[in-house]
A = this chain, B = another copy of it.
């Protein structure tokens, strides 16, 4: 009988739900009507010599970085940051 202890329905169901949440969505809000949020930029057309692109999916100016990664990192003990693109 003890062989089946860890696969009893109530225990298993709770554990599976936690794993799914821990590996959940990265993008909570941005352009959820698009199947895939791809952005294309032509660097020679950018006005600034250095541009920061968001990789945290929390920016209000996505695909540009607006510094929102700082709040995300603090709230979740994460270490994400932008891609800096130089012409």
Contact = CB atoms under 8 A, between A and B. Distances in A.
Interface of A: 18, 20-28, 31-32, 34-44, 53-57, 63, 69, 72-73, 75-87
A36 B81 contact: yes
Contact of A83 (B26, B36, B69, B83): B83
A41 B84 contact: yes
Contact of A80 (B21, B22, B37, B76): B37
Contact of A36 (B23, B73, B87): B73
Contacts of A79: 27, 31-32, 34-37
Contact of A76 (B18, B25, B55, B75): B25
A85 B69 CA distance: 21
